[in-house]
Amino acid sequence: MAIKPKKVEKSSTSIRRVLSAVVSIVMFSAFLMLHASFVTGRSLLLAFPGWEVTYRGCWPNPLGGAWVSDVVLMPIEGEEEDAFHFESLTIDIPMFQFYRSGLTWKFRERMKAISDIELEFSGGQGSLSWPISSELHFFGNASAAPFEAEGCLEDAIWVSEEFSEMGLQAGPTELRMAWHREDDGLIKEQSIHTPGVGRVDYREEQIMHDEFPLFSLIETDANELVSGEWHVKDEGFVVARNQFCAKKDGIDATQFVDRHMVTVQRLLAALGLKASQSTQDAYRKYAEHGGSLDLVVSYSPTIDASVYEDDDLGRWIARTRGELTAGGRSHRLGMSVIEMQPFSEDDDELTTFGALQQEQARRARSAPPETDEQLLVATATSPAATIAPIAADAAPDVLMTSESEVVERPDTILEYRALGAEVGQRFKLYSKGKSPMRVEVVGMQDGLVKVRRYVRSGWLEHTIARAGFERAERIR
């Protein structure tokens, strides 16, 4: 029996509609996958410029953003033991911004479309010694505690696997990073939280005088830092650390806190800073018992590019107004600028407290105790003893040279091999696609320039790729 033409036509139309719907779904899915991959890559570059960040899988969130699995963070030139692993990452972007960015063909407009980004890392653990960010430089990546291991004779940092040894029931580390751009302002937020150990939350406000798409990855010279605040909540780490290090070094917890305070003072002196007695007393309350610690600072005038890049911390301090709150009581932040007291290169492999012991042992050998009331009674061979504070005007050891040995050196090095000849000199190094970093030249190895950078646990040595080198500006 013959089929009526109308039925054939209806059947053909139905098939076309199904195929059209299938093709549309496939194209939409491909668009979501590609855009989610783009958003993930740009977000990680924004969060960790100059780092090596890898992940296993990336899936789009139709409501805006992406879900990412098995994220590994590692500083460039780092080793496997420097890595920090997160089981998952959620990237949240407002739906309108997400689709507007994906459907815009002009690259710059695509960058400008997104002004709100939030990254939430979960299931974290690792032994990363490099700071997660410059804003959280003095906080442990897993402990979230300020100056986490200062005062310990052997330990320089705390990693995830060590918390159980301290008697802590620690959960996986969580990391949050967010950016919100509105009109001429930018708000940055960061937080580290390890349940059962501690938490720190950071918030920063900037003024921006030109268009700065977040995904352009370019911090312009027009940025001005207005304020910053750190909120610390201890969840058991501080007391556990005090007891653990005290037992390990053969002292009691009170003596360890004394060590911790003096070591923190010495670390600040290496930066050219000294805390007032009231600020030290406020911080000591936290260092003894934990609890909460809040630091809120504002800058007036604001910190512009010329001050931000200046090594003279006096310009920062002159513009800083701060309040430190410990145990519910607020104190005015007191910080003054002193002559920088760098550590000796001979002590690079030691912890800060170990280096401090060596310094005062050297002073004890070079000066009679009766002529120096600030002299250290204990040395590295007597870890059970406490340490006396260093005088604020104590001068660091200086290597003297005769006039004939003084050489005029250029302020800027443009040739790669010329940089390798500047052994022992310190520079601000510029490389393609990376943030500037302060380094000390070690020399040449297999035709490559070798430098070292300071991290909390000491100095990290690595080589500089010839192809990426742009210039090096001498730090005087």
Render pLDDT for 238-294 as a digit per residue (tens, 0 to 9): 999 999 999 999 999 999 999 999 999 999 998 889 999 999 999 999 999 999 999
Worst-scoring range by mean pLDDT, 191-205, 255-269, 326-340? 326-340
Q: How confident is the model at residue 399 (pLDDT cuts 50, 70, 90)?
A: very low
- 263: how many CB neighbours lie within 10 A of its CB? 23
Q: Position of tokens 């501690």? A: 198
Identify the pLDDT of residue 386: 40
Which range (85-94, 433-442, 454-463) has the least confidence?
454-463
Task: Specify the higher pLDDT residue, 184 or 295.
Answer: 295
pLDDT at site 261 = 96
- Cα distance between residue 380 and residue 361, in whole Å: 8
The pLDDT of residue 385 is above 70: no
Tokens of 426: 């310190």
| Confidence bin at 373 (pLDDT 50/70/90) | very low
Q: What are the residues facing 69 on neighbouring strands? A: 57, 88
CA distance 78 to 404: 40
Give the pLDDT mean for 375-396: 37
pLDDT of residue 355: 87
Q: Which one-letter DSSP state was computed for residue 239?
A: H
CA angle 76, 429, 466 (to 5 degrees): 70
Rg over alpha carbons for the chain, rounded to the nearest Å, is: 27
**SS3 call for 442:** strand
**What does the buried/exposed string (b/e) look like for 154-172 if buried means 16 or more CB atoms within 10 Å of the residue's CB?**
ebbbbbbebbeebebebbb
Average pLDDT value for residue range 73-81: 72
Q: Report whether pLDDT(321) > 60.
A: yes
Distances (CA, A) of 121 to 91, 191, 246, 458: 9, 10, 33, 27
pLDDT at res. 372: 38
Task: Find where tokens 């600040």 sit.
Answer: 268
108 or 283, which is more confident?
Answer: 283
**Beta carbons within 8 Å of 299's beta carbon, 6+ residues apart:** 225, 226, 227, 319, 320, 321
- Helix boundaries (H) for 55-204: 95-102, 107-112
Interatomic CA distance for residues 167 and 410, integer angstroms? 54
How do residues 132-174 score in pLDDT, each as one tens digit?
A: 998 999 999 999 999 999 999 888 888 888 899 999 999 999 9
Q: Bigger pLDDT: 183 or 143?
A: 143
- Do 320 and 335 meet the contact criterion of CB atoms below 8 Å apart? yes
Task: Over range 22-48, report the average pLDDT.
Answer: 84
Among 78, 81, 40, 85, smallest CA distance to 58 is for 40
Contact 65, 92 (CB under 8 A): yes
Q: How confident is the model at residue 459, as a pLDDT?
A: 53
**Residue range 300-309: mean pLDDT, rounded:** 79
Q: Which of 28-42, 222-236, 406-420 has the highest mean pLDDT?
A: 222-236
- Return the structure tokens found at 296: 């809120």
> Could you say which DSSP state residue 350 is in?
S
- The whole-chain average pLDDT of the chain stands at 81
**Contact indicator for 200, 191 with CB cutoff of 8 Å:** yes
With a cut of 50, say whether residue 405 has pLDDT above it.
no
Largest CA distance in the chain: 122
Count of C-beta atoms within a 10 Å radius of residue 265? 18
Report the alpha-carbon angle 289-295-298, nearest 5: 170
Alpha helices in 275-377 (DSSP H): 277-289, 305-308, 313-319, 352-366
395 pLDDT more than 80:
no
Residue 6 has pLDDT above 80, yes or no: no
pTM of the shown model: 0.73
Rounded to an integer, the average pLDDT of 18-28 is 72
Extended strands (E) in 129-253: 173-182, 185-194, 198-207, 224-234
pLDDT at 177 over 70: yes
Q: Which two tokens stand for residue 255?
A: 């003596």
Residue 95 scores a pLDDT above 70: yes
d(CA 284, CA 150): 13
Mean per-residue pLDDT, 205-218: 70
Q: Which tokens go with 253?
A: 């917890």
With residues binned 3-state (H G I as helix, E B as strand, rest as coil), the percentages for the chain, rounded to 5, are 35, 30, 35
| pLDDT for the residue 173 | 97
Read off the tokens for 217: 């990855």
Considering only residues 225 and 396, tell me which one the structure prediction assigns the higher pLDDT: 225
Confidence of residue 438 (pLDDT cuts 50, 70, 90): confident
Mean per-residue pLDDT, 11-33: 74
pLDDT at residue number 232: 97
Residue type at 346 in one-letter notation: D
Give me the half-sphere count of Cα atoms (radius 13 Å) on the Cβ side of residue 196: 11
Instruction: Report pLDDT for 11.
Output: 62
Looking only at the bridges linking them, the beta strands covering 173-182 and 51-54 are: unpaired
Domain-wise residue ranges, the chain? 403-474
How large is the average pLDDT for residues 173-201? 93
5: Cα separation from own chain's centroid: 73
SS3 assignment, position 150: coil
- What's the pLDDT score for residue 370? 47
